Structure 1
Amino acid sequence: MVSLKKKQKTKKRYLSEEKKDMISGYLYVSPFFIIFFCVGLFPILFSLYLAFQQWNGLSPMEFVGLDNFKIVLTDSLFWKSVYNTIIMGLLGTAPQLIVGIILAFLLNQVFLRFKQFYRVTIFMPYITSMVAVALVFSVLFSNQDSSMANYILGLFGLDPINWATSEWGTKIAISLMVFWRWIGYNTIIYLAGLQSIPRDLYEAATIDGASKFQQLRYITMPLLKPFILLTVFFSTVGALQLFSEPTVFLGQSAFTRSEAMTIVMYLYRDAFRLQSFGTASATAVILVIFIAVLAAINLYLTSGIGRKKKRGAGK
């Protein structure tokens, strides 16, 4: 009888210690969830709630249903911002994915000397301050005839361009800024993917008589596919959230002109310049839908990279 009581006490004590460990574990990870709720989850839910309200930040909220979405979707400036975002996203992100793979292949070659220097140089724009980037590109794409961009155009017999005021000049300048800033980030990711591929596969393919193109098609690209999907997803999200580059390039006039107005800039203008938080929240919801749809399309298109075509049953 005494031994049975001792066993029960030991069991209770054991369960008590287990619960203490469980509670202490939750306490250790609780700061992340608290910060995520305050900084991430709560703003998302509150923005979704505001999308159906009319509110200027001070007066009481008024429920308006889907009116905010109707205002945004019937605004020609919003669709202009969608057009600008897609065009600058394609010009700025699509080339960097292709060039990033090429640079990664070059940096991964055995015969290349000073690899570390080239890697640091390519990655340097990613960690450069946006203020410095704005100063550099404002000089390169100045409206003056003596600017670097206009000087290069002059070498080919082309007329100078007012980069900060023309429709396509502004888009090209901002797209090049995006390309220059993010090319190193994608290159490093692709380089890490290439270095994760075992050399034994290439040696075995060489012994079997596979050419360099066949090795690239059947070994490199299929094994590099997860890294390509990652960069495509991040690039799609980043392109649709384009804000810093147009803002720092155009300055105060960025929100009063339509040449480089992006979706996020349109959202920012409604919220913090027009104090229309309802339409700004509706724009945010529409942007999330755009990101989800375009990211799914891009992932679907890139998921076929390295996939072998199925042969017919009769073949």
Structure 2
Amino acid sequence: MATPEKAIHGITRVPKKNSVNHKLKSTLIGWSFIAVATIFICLFYFYPMLKALTLSFQSGTGTNLEFVGFDNYTRLFKDPTFLTTVKNTVIYLIVQVPIMILLALFLSVLLNNKTLKFKAFFRTAIFLPCVTSLVAYSVIFKYLFSQDGLINQMLMKLSIIAQPIEWLTDPFWAKMTIILAITWRWIGYNMIFYLSALQNIDESIYEAARIDGASPVQQFFKITIPNLKPIILFTSITSTIGTLQLFDEVMNITQGGPGNATMTISQYIYNLSFKYTPDFGYAATVSYVIVILIVLFSILQFKVAGDKQ
């Protein structure tokens, strides 16, 4: 008599118990590979998030905290400095992100041209600012745009301006300086994504469009933009998140001045925690405003892009 392990019509049957043990063993091996990473993510990512959330319902000086409910959240709407930082951050977002996305898109299309010479050099040159130190480049921008800096000297020699522009002490020009700095640094980062996506578009699509008489402008709006839509959405969201968390440039170029005219939400959180009398509870509350803004702007961008997934 044939046993369960024997073959029927020449086909070997594996015992059910061995199959279950093999599956369980494979599952345990898989979890063992990701267990350490999962523990560290929970310990250094999710735990601080939950801790900050509970901290936002507390108030006090230093570590002498007590539960105050929603007092910190109601305090936000009565805090003029906080409202100013939100306004400044939203201005950076509305002005800088579209400019950076459009410039990165334009440069990527330009540098994807097969007839362009020295493409590798130009791509590297535009991308290099992304790998520079945040503090180092911020300090350089501070000196370039100072009252007697190189920018003012060049503009005056070219007779574009009659007297130096107060780049760092005038509220409007100080904001423009911050916008120029972050655009210069991050435009190459977004350009790389667009270049990668452009090289994945089938060239035969453009050839068919040219045969049908489509102009370069029509090809750009009818072929390039639709194919880049997922990447444009991705770069828009990541740029939004980065701008809402803006800190280094403002801290090193203008220190939030003049008169809080350039201060961002992140810098205000830093001041609440380390510069003013430490109020970690209120600082945690302000930090969750960034989370809420990121969620709201991300949802808005998905809606505008028409992405249903």
Distance 1:160 1:135 in 2: 19
The answer to whether residue 40 in structure 2 is matched with residue 38 in structure 1 is no
Aligned counterpart for 2:21 among listed residues 1, 16, 22: 16
Deviations 1:242-277 (A, max 9, x none): 111111213xx4489412110111112112333211
What amino acid maps onto 1:45 in structure 2? L
SS of the aligned residue for 1:27 comes to: helix
Unaligned runs of at least 5 residues, structure 1: 305-315
% identity of equivalent residues: 36
Q: Which residue pairs with 1:248 in the alignment?
A: 252
The answer to whether residue 292 in structure 2 is matched with residue 289 in structure 1 is yes
Distance 2:213 2:4 in 1: 75
- Residues 162-311 of structure 1: pairs in structure 2 closer than 5 A: 162-250=166-254, 253-254=255-256, 257-273=259-275, 274-303=277-306
Q: Which residue pairs with 2:152 in the alignment?
A: 150
Deviation at 1:183, TM superposition (A): 0.7
Residue pair 1:91, 1:172 contacting (<8 A) in 2 also: no
Distance 1:49 1:235 in 2: 28
Name whichever of 91-100 and 76-85 sits farther off: 91-100
SS of the aligned residue for 1:54 comes to: strand
Q: Which residue pairs with 1:308 in the alignment?
A: none
Q: Which residue pairs with 1:76 in the alignment?
A: 80
- Residues 47-58 of structure 1: pairs in structure 2 closer than 5 A: 47-58=52-63
Deviation at 1:57, TM superposition (A): 4.5
> How well do the aligned residues superpose, as a CA RMSD in angstroms?
2.5
Residue pair 1:104, 1:187 contacting (<8 A) in 2 also: yes
Distance 1:259 1:165 in 2: 9
Deviation at 1:56, TM superposition (A): 4.0
Residue pair 1:53, 1:65 contacting (<8 A) in 2 also: yes
Residue pair 1:81, 1:263 contacting (<8 A) in 2 also: yes
Aligned counterpart for 1:100 among listed residues 99, 104, 107: 104
SS of the aligned residue for 2:262 comes to: coil
Name whichever of 282-291 and 147-156 sits farther off: 147-156
Residue pair 1:97, 1:183 contacting (<8 A) in 2 also: yes
Distance 1:211 1:243 in 2: 43
Name whichever of 129-138 and 30-39 sits farther off: 129-138
What amino acid maps onto 1:277 in structure 2? F
Residue pair 1:52, 1:66 contacting (<8 A) in 2 also: yes
Q: TM-score, normalised by structure 1?
A: 0.87
Structure that is richer in helix per residue: 1
Name whichever of 272-281 and 40-49 sits farther off: 272-281
Name whichever of 130-139 and 232-241 sits farther off: 130-139
Unaligned runs of at least 5 residues, structure 2: 7-11
SS of the aligned residue for 1:297 comes to: helix
Deviation at 1:211, TM superposition (A): 2.4
Residue pair 2:171, 2:261 contacting (<8 A) in 1 also: yes
Q: Which residue pairs with 2:9 in the alignment?
A: none
Residue pair 1:130, 1:248 contacting (<8 A) in 2 also: no
SS of the aligned residue for 1:162 comes to: coil
Distance 1:256 1:167 in 2: 6
What amino acid maps onto 1:121 in structure 2? A
